[in-house]
Amino acid sequence: MRRIPRKVEVEHEPGKFTRYLRHDNGEGFVSPHATVHPDATIRPGAYVEAGARVGAHAKVGRFSWVDVDAVVGRGARVDENVHVGMRGVVGDDARVGSGSRLGTDSRVPAGVVVPPDAIVPDGETAHGTRRRGDFGTAA
């Protein structure tokens, strides 16, 4: 049986380490200074940074990065390989398609679906559809 360590340290710069804990639901990496609801899913390879908040029933896909002070709302879905920039907000029940990049202070309103590979510039609000489609990726 493979043993997965509960605590991981990552060296971002020579001599500068950041500690992460594995989230029980999904095995992704979460800063001890982040707030992640126990019912949220953080998939392997995903990171949630200090000050970030992830709501109940939200899903953060593999290799996605929820940056410092960002928010992923209740029931929101962030697919694979997504970057939610510093202080970015993904509203309740919103969805961000795989490969998308949300800039610093960007916003995805509640219920909005952002298509895969979209770029939302710093400080901008995403314009997407309010329909909840399936892009065929697993978060």
Q: By residue range, what is the domain housing residue 59?
A: 7-120
Is 125 inside a domain boundary?
Answer: no
Total tally of structural domains belonging to the chain: 1
Give the chain's residues under pLDDT 70: 1-5, 131-139
What pLDDT sits at residue 136?
Answer: 43
Residue 62 belongs to domain with CATH number: 2.160.10.10
- Backbone torsions φ then ψ of 45, nearest 5 degrees: 85, -10
Q: What is the pLDDT of residue 5?
A: 60
Q: Is residue 133 part of a domain?
A: no
- Residue 129 is assigned to a structural domain of this protein: no
pLDDT for position 4: 58
